[in-house]
Amino acid sequence: MNTSQARWRMLCFGRVQHVGFRYTAMYLAQKLYLTGWVKNQTDGSVLLEAQGNTAQLRKFYLQLKSQPHLHIEKAEITEIPVEMYERKFRVM
């Protein structure tokens, strides 16, 4: 099992606003013990950063993609530096 911490920045496009995306992301992240944040962008996309081990992050992304009320057409995922003192996942 991978226990090293990673942080992913995900910019998601598709049917991702006005469908509960941010609160679904928060719920799923909390279930997986991830930290980070999620917020809507003015262009209709959603930006989020999630932190945990790589296996948890993959599972988080797959769970987001499998939600029937969301439709992620495209996601740009970038690994970014870990934030050492972050303790929760929040909606911004």
Per DSSP, the three-state class of 17 is coil
Residue 15: CATH number of its domain: 3.30.70.100
The pTM for the full model equals 0.91
Q: How far, in Å, CA of 60 to CA of 81, rounded?
A: 18
Total domain count, the chain: 1
Residue 6 contacts residue 57 (beta carbons within 8 Å): yes
pLDDT of residue 26: 97
Q: How far, in Å, CA of 89 to CA of 91, rounded?
A: 7
Q: What is the mean pLDDT of each run of 10 residues along the chain (92 residues)?
A: 82 95 97 98 98 96 94 96 95 96
pLDDT of residue 6: 97
Q: Is 82 a domain residue?
A: yes
Report the percentage of the chain scoring pLDDT > 70.
Answer: 97
Q: Is 92 a domain residue?
A: no
Residues catalogued as catalytic: 22, 40
Q: Is 91 a domain residue?
A: no
pLDDT of residue 3: 61
Count the residues in the chain. Answer: 92
